[in-house]
Amino acid sequence: MKLLSPDQLRQWDNFTIKQEPIASIDLMERAAIACVEWINARGFENRPIKIFCGKGNNGGDGLAIARLLLQQGLHPTTCILEFGKPGTEDFQKNLQRLHKRTTDIHFLQSKEFFPVINENELVIDALFGFGLNRPLDGLNEDLVKHINLSKATIVSIDMPSGMLIDESCKDHAVVCADHSLTFQRLKRCFLMAENADWFGEISILDIGLNKAFPETIDTAFTIISQTLVRSLVQPRKPFSHKGSFGHALLLAGNKGKVGAAILAAKACLRSGVGVLTVNVPKAVSSIMYASLPETMVMAREENIPFLNAYKSIGIGPGFGVGPGSEKILLHILTHYSSPLLIDADALTILSTHKDWLQNIPAGSILSPHPKEFDRLFGDCANDFERADKAIALSKKYPFTLIVKGHHTLVAAEGKGWYNLTGNAGLAKAGSGDTLSGILTALLAQQYTSLHAAIMGVYLHGLAADLALNVQTEESLLATDVIDHIGAAFRELRS
């Protein structure tokens, strides 16, 4: 699913209006009907309702909602921000229609006109939609703060007023919604962790926009779909042998961190690698033998022989950051030519030797969490800046970046893919090690770095979601995720 910019969303409306054809005010009516149906389905129509409208088309939606609720026999109060200028053409048409049905319309010319909002009320926020391109100020900001101070249930139409689609609204005035009723598809702002406290529960309402339009445009960001991932999965031929699926080398674990190596190795094996060698310190090699008899174990040395015999190398989980680890990483960067998976401690080492980035083999994957990303590439003020920097870096370097989070971003070749699988149970030690193993296995099977990254983050999250059939978000362990990788593959093939 493509993520559209504000300009592209406007184009989609216009495309629908021309192709159907349909009048813009009738398209607005569709949006209002969808919102009222949602309100009725939730039982919110039984509460006193206050609707706050700006004078743009989002406000026009709010006026149409008020009229439809009146037609149901309800008595919403409509409040309009007043600046002495008329609204958009469709806003004015809906205002005329509403005037014919009620006099309970109030124009808010200053803070003194702001109504009291009671705790039992439903507030509908139709002040500003996706067209907003700057932070709120003045009376707009004052009204948003007034709404946020209430303890009422707040429903925002399309998106919370004050939120921007493609820019951070951190430290800005934004309506703190309990529910956001967004039209047709998700917006990028709903994928950012820093916005989560504002948009609440998201519902996507189909208002009949022409489905052909998104296929006619190019976008910088896309949501990873099961259809996409399913198309990437390579079938395994009946006469395959272990050499068909690659020999991977995993450098992970250290004293006190052998668990990271075990998790990454087990996830690697569950993800289809043909042969796996795990490189760990000699002192913990016996633990690896006992834990995973399916692996070969190599005692750690600075110079690893026959590096290019491996189809992929994964390095980092629990690896350590001391001088010995630095020497091994540099040796690999200067002697290995196939794809690497670089994670965790290996990323920390790179952050102190940034000139080594030039030595990373083409087709590799780096999978930092936000703090690791900032250490490696410079501090970012917010999620949007970090994502945009990842896209820029993917143009500069021949590797794929995975910026981990609730909605993990894959950045490659100047484009971004957001993943929606996964749950809060993954916010636990070992989750990243598991992902590292999955990615190392996919690279060994000759998936491109982009396809391995897209498949890897999706499968990792899907396995975690399937594991909730027997666990909860609180009880979920990395081993539970690994145990459900097979079920995730099965669901992709079903």
Kindly state whether residue 237 falls inside one of the protein's structural domains. Answer: no
Model pTM score: 0.95
| Residues 51 and 15 grouped into a single domain | yes
**Shared domain check, 171 and 289:** no
Asked whether 146 and 154 are in contact (CB, 8 A), the reply is: no
Strand order in the sheet with 122-126: 105-108, 77-81, 49-53, 122-126, 153-157, 179-183, 201-205
Number of structural domains found in the chain: 2
- Each of the 494 residues of the chain gets a pLDDT tens digit; together they read 999 999 999 999 999 999 999 999 999 999 999 999 999 999 988 899 999 999 999 999 999 999 999 999 999 999 999 988 999 999 999 999 999 999 999 999 999 999 999 999 999 999 999 989 899 999 999 999 999 999 999 999 999 999 999 999 888 999 999 999 999 999 999 999 999 999 999 999 999 999 999 999 999 999 999 999 999 999 999 999 999 999 999 999 998 899 999 999 999 999 999 999 999 999 888 999 899 999 999 998 878 889 999 999 999 999 999 999 999 999 999 999 999 999 999 999 999 999 999 999 999 999 999 999 999 999 999 999 999 999 999 999 999 999 999 999 999 999 999 999 999 999 999 999 999 999 999 999 999 999 999 999 999 999 999 999 999 999 999 999 999 999 999 999 88
Judge if 165 and 282 occupy the same domain: no
165 contacts: CB under 8 Å, gap ≥ 6: 5, 6, 9, 130, 159, 187, 188, 189
pLDDT for the residue 170: 87
Q: Are residues 189 and 318 in the same domain?
A: no
Cα dist from 48 to 76, 114, 314, whole Å? 7, 16, 58
Q: Do residues 246 and 126 share a domain?
A: no
Same domain, 353 and 249: yes
> Which residues pair with residue 53 across a beta bridge?
80, 126
Predicted confidence at residue 486, as pLDDT, reads: 98
**Which one-letter amino acid corresponds to residue 95?**
L
Tell whether 396 and 430 lie within a shared domain. yes
Which structural domain range is residue 270 located in? 226-232+242-493
Return d(Cα 248, Cα 294) in angstroms, integer.
13
Question: What's 37's domain CATH number?
Answer: 3.40.50.10260
One domain for residues 187 and 276: no
- Whole-angstrom Cα distance, residue 36 to residue 104? 19
Burial classification of residue 143, based on how many CB atoms lie within 10 Å of its CB (0-12 exposed, 13-18 middle, 19 or more buried):
buried
DSSP calls for 274-294: SEEEEEE-GGGHHHHHHH-TT
Shared-domain flag, residues 279 and 134: no
Q: Judge if 33 and 135 occupy the same domain.
A: yes
Residue 204 and residue 340 in one domain: no
Whose tokens are 């950045």? That residue is 411
424 and 336 in a single domain? The answer is: yes
| Final residue belonging to a domain, choices 218, 252, 269 | 218
Question: What's 373's domain CATH number?
Answer: 3.40.1190.20
Please report which residue ranges of 78-212 form alpha helices under DSSP H.
Answer: 89-99, 138-149, 196-199
